[in-house]
Amino acid sequence: MKVLFASQAIDGHFNPMTGLAMRLKERGHDVRWYTGPVFTAKLRDLGIPLLPFTRAIEHRAGNLTELYPERARLKGPRAIGFDGEKVFASNITNFFEDISGIRADFPFDVAVVDATMFVHRLLSHLLGTPVINFVAVPNTPPMASRYPGRDG
């Protein structure tokens, strides 16, 4: 099976996906990864081909102020809203166009996509591609003290 992984070029989005990618690769699947060039060396070490962003902007924790100097003046909800627009929403079309182009050369059977790329429905509905939404947030059980025990 041909599997395309797609993630933001941010460690906390990329790294949690590598275990699944390696497991699929070890089982003989053709795995490739669409992300920013910042992960060239990591993907080379994993033996997974990089399909780099072409239209999409590579947002990283270390380059946001360089890309958006006005961001440094923002705090609280304004900073969160700014990041939501610039880092996440503004790249959706770019992600879709890049991945559509990739599909012409690498007709993947399924895409495993970072939840924060927000391109899942476009891939599914417009390309007819099965998509797995990868959420890189640990599920922590609720605090036990919030719930009464069996006896009480």
pLDDT tens profile 91-136 = 999 999 999 999 999 999 999 999 999 999 999 999 999 999 999 8
pLDDT of amino acid 109 = 98
pLDDT of amino acid 139 = 65
pLDDT digits (tens, 9 = 90+) for 9-21: 999 899 999 999 9
Residue 144 has pLDDT above 70, yes or no: no
- The helix/strand/coil state of 7 is coil
Q: CB under 8 Å to 5, separation ≥6 — which residues?
A: 17, 21, 31, 32, 33, 34, 35, 48, 111, 112, 113
Q: What is the percent of the chain with per-residue pLDDT over 90, rounded to a whole number?
A: 79
Confidence (pTM): 0.86
Average pLDDT over residues 57-68: 90
Q: Is residue 59 within a helix (H) or strand (E), and if so which, with residue range? A: none
pLDDT digits (tens, 9 = 90+) for 39-54: 999 999 999 999 999 9
What rounded mean pLDDT belongs to the chain? 91
Residue 151 has pLDDT above 70, yes or no: no
Domain 2-138 in CATH 3.40.50.2000? The answer is: yes
Query: With bands split at pLDDT 50, 70 and 90, how would you rate the model's confidence at 141?
Result: low
Q: What tokens were used for 10?
A: 């941010």
